[in-house]
Amino acid sequence: MKKPKRRYIISLVVLIIVVITICAFNKKMKTSVYSISSPKINSKIKIALITDLHSCQYGKNQNTLINEINKQKPDLVLYGGDICDDKLPHDNTELLLKAIANKYPSFYVSGNHEFLSGEVNNIKDMFRSYGVTVLEGTYETIEINEQKINICGIDDPNINQYANKNTFYNQLESLESVSDNGYYTILLAHRPQYISTYLSYNFDLVLAGHTHGGQWRIPWLLNGLFAPDQKWFPKYSGGRYNFENGEMIISRGLARESTRVPRIFNRPELVIIDLK
């Protein structure tokens, strides 16, 4: 009787290890939905946030990603930087733009890898060629479902290496009075660690990426092990963060094959925000 029991325990342990391993290294894209209420919003607006694609592939001709975006039926699409990688061709990004950019109002800000590629201006021109608005310390007030909102955006801080060293902060300064019109105001910015600075400019919602969800996560225990700039056990790695004077949502991004370190318990994600 002891041997069958022992075999049962060993089989159970092996099964548990296999299941945990499959879950840990699952690279299938997921969709994370956040609902945000504000007295400034009178009608529902759905936003799709795409960050850190890093030129990765999601099905033939990007159909997995494209189909999911279309399924969600967003009112607008925001690209939060590192959509193009510095070491991979931009074909997959262009396939995505070709399929959806003309369907939804779309806005883009740069990430650090677009600057590292040395092709940031060409990348911006590519987005513009598909009708995407490139935000560089600029904003647009748009009307969706009879509701006006402000969409603001800034370049990645790496722009300081290509322009003067104060360009990043100058771009923020140029957005200081945007919220004076009383409309709900969103800032699209690649890096989340500057959140205290962002919130000093009266943005209602900050949307960011960059962290890749901290690469390794432990469900319910650790939200992220390591993030660029923030290093070990980052304070801001992914998800929703509430502050006294605003909110921030960090996408864990869509990087897969372009990352040197595997994602563990950290599936790539498309973020959907329901404003109401």
Question: Backbone dihedral region of 49: left (phi > 0), alpha (psi from -120 to 50 degrees) or beta?
Answer: beta
pLDDT for 9 equals 75
**Mapping DSSP to helix (H, G, I), strand (E, B) and coil, where does residue 201 land?**
coil
- Count of Cβ atoms closer than 10 Å to residue 238 Cβ: 26
Q: Is residue 40 part of a domain?
A: yes
Q: Is residue 16 part of a domain?
A: no
pLDDT for 1 equals 47
pLDDT for 217 equals 86
Q: Is residue 122 part of a domain?
A: yes
CB proximity list for 103: less than 8 A, separation 6 or greater = 70
pTM of the model: 0.92
pLDDT tens-digit profile of 18-67? 777 777 677 899 999 999 999 999 999 999 999 999 999 999 999 999 99
Q: Is residue 267 part of a domain?
A: yes
Q: Which of 194, 258, 274, 214 is nearest to 57 (CA)?
A: 258
Domain of 193?
Answer: 31-275
* Count of domains observed in the chain: 1
Helices then strands (H, E): number in the chain? 7, 14
Q: Which regions of the chain are under pLDDT 70?
A: 1-3, 24, 162-164
Q: Is residue 265 part of a domain?
A: yes
CATH number reported for the structural domain that contains residue 178 in this entry:
3.60.21.10
Q: Which of 117, 86, 25 is nearest to 258 (CA)?
A: 86
Q: Is residue 203 part of a domain?
A: yes
Q: Is residue 6 part of a domain?
A: no
pLDDT for 160 equals 76
Q: Is residue 26 part of a domain?
A: no
